[in-house]
Amino acid sequence: MRPALLAAIFDVDGVLVDSPHERAWREALTGFVDPAGFTTSFYQANVAGKPRLEGAREALERLGGPKAAARTAEYADRKQALIDQLIEAGSFEVFPDALRFASALKSAGLRLALASSSKNAAAMLSRLKLSDGRTLLSLFDADLSGRDVPRGKPDPALFLLAAEALNTPPLQCVVIEDAPAGITAARAGGMTALGIARLGDEALLREAGADLVVTSLDQVEIAALGAGTLRARAVTEPVVDA
C-alpha cells in the first residue's frame, strides 16, 4: 500500500499557465531555420519542460539548422528577449481548472511547490491575482523554478530539490506535468506522475510513464490522494471557480 500523497509539485507552462513560451520559441527561429516545422507537437515532444539551452539546441538540431551547436546560445537569447516582451505585455493567463485544483490541494492540507525549468515562472505567477487579491505565486510553499541543477528534465534533480524544500519524501509527492520530459523526471525521482494533456497528447504522456493522464485537472479525485492513490473521478462533478 502506498503512503499518502502529502505534497504536489507543479510545472508551470502548460500546467498552471497558458503561457507564450511556445510562441516565443517559434518566432525566435526566424533567421535560424524555417519556423513552420516548429509545431505544437514538436514543441511538446522536444522542447517543453527542458532547460533553455537544451531546448534551443534540440530544436535547432532536429529542424536541421546549420551550425546548430554554435548558434544555440544566440537562439536561446532571442527567445528570452521575446518571452520577456510577451510577459511584460501580459500575454498569458491562468488555466481555471489548474487554479481550482491547486486551491483544493492547499485546502486539503497538501504542501505545494513550483518546479519549472523556466526562469520566467515567478514573473508570470506574481502578475496573476487570486480572488482575495493575493498573487498566484503566494499559493505555493516553495518555488524552485529556474533553479540551476547539474542536469535538467528528464533528470529528476529539480523535482528532488522541490521535495526537499517541502520536507516531504519523494514517494509522497505527486508531480503535475504536461511534458513527456517532466513525466519521465517525476518517475525517475520515485514520485507519482500526473499528466495534464491540454493539447491532445495523451499518448505521449502515457508513453513517458504517467500514472494518470487527464485533459482537465477537474477530473482528479483529490480525496483519493490521502490514500496514496491517483485516480480520476468516476463522474465529473460540477466545479466552482476558485
Q: Is 8 exposed, middle or buried (0-12, 13-18, 19+ CB in 10 A)?
A: buried
**pLDDT band at residue 65, thresholds of 50, 70 and 90?**
confident
Stronger pLDDT, 79 or 234, i.e. the higher one: 79
* Cα–Cα distance for residue pair 74/53, rounded to 1 Å: 10
Residues whose CB is less than 8 angstroms from the CB of residue 129 and which lie 6 or more positions away in sequence, other chains included: 135, 136
Contact between 66 and 31 (Cβ < 8 Å): no
Rounded average pLDDT over 80-103: 90
Residues whose CB is less than 8 angstroms from the CB of residue 52 and which lie 6 or more positions away in sequence, other chains included: 76, 79, 80, 117, 118, 119
Domain 7-18+92-227: assigned CATH number: 3.40.50.1000
CA neighbor of 15 nearest in space, from 41, 51, 37, 48 = 48
Query: What residue segments make up the domains of the chain, in order of their start?
Result: 7-18+92-227, 21-88
Is the peptide bond prior to 169 cis by the omega test (within 30 degrees of 0)? Answer: no
Rounded average pLDDT over 120-128: 88
10-58 pLDDT per residue, tens: 999 899 998 888 898 999 999 999 999 999 889 888 888 788 898 899 9
**Quick one: pLDDT at residue 146?**
86
CA atoms within 13 Å, Cβ hemisphere of 80: 15
**pLDDT band at residue 124, thresholds of 50, 70 and 90?**
confident
Task: Return phi, psi of residue 101, to 5°.
Answer: -65, -50
Residues whose CB is less than 8 angstroms from the CB of residue 19 and which lie 6 or more positions away in sequence, other chains included: 12, 13, 92, 120, 124
192-242 pLDDT per residue, tens: 999 999 988 899 999 999 999 999 999 999 999 989 999 999 764 555 555
Can you say whether residue 221 is alpha, beta or left, with left for phi > 0 and alpha for psi between -120 and 50 degrees? beta
pLDDT at residue 164 tops 90: yes
Strands 93-94 and 17-18: antiparallel
pLDDT at residue 188 tops 90: yes
* Cα–Cα distance for residue pair 162/130, rounded to 1 Å: 23
**Quick one: pLDDT at residue 117?**
85
Cell of 108: 486539503
Domain 21-88: assigned CATH number: 1.10.150.240
What own/partner pairs with CB < 8 Å and gap ≥ 24 does 164-170 have?
165/113, 165/141, 166/7, 166/9, 166/111, 166/112, 166/113, 166/141, 166/142, 167/111, 168/6, 168/7, 168/111, 169/3
CA atoms within 13 Å, Cβ hemisphere of 229: 8
Q: CA of 208: how far to CAs of 13, 187, 195, 213, in Å? A: 18, 9, 9, 11
Looking at mean pLDDT, say which of 61-70, 127-136, 187-196 comes out highest.
187-196
**Quick one: pLDDT at residue 68?**
86
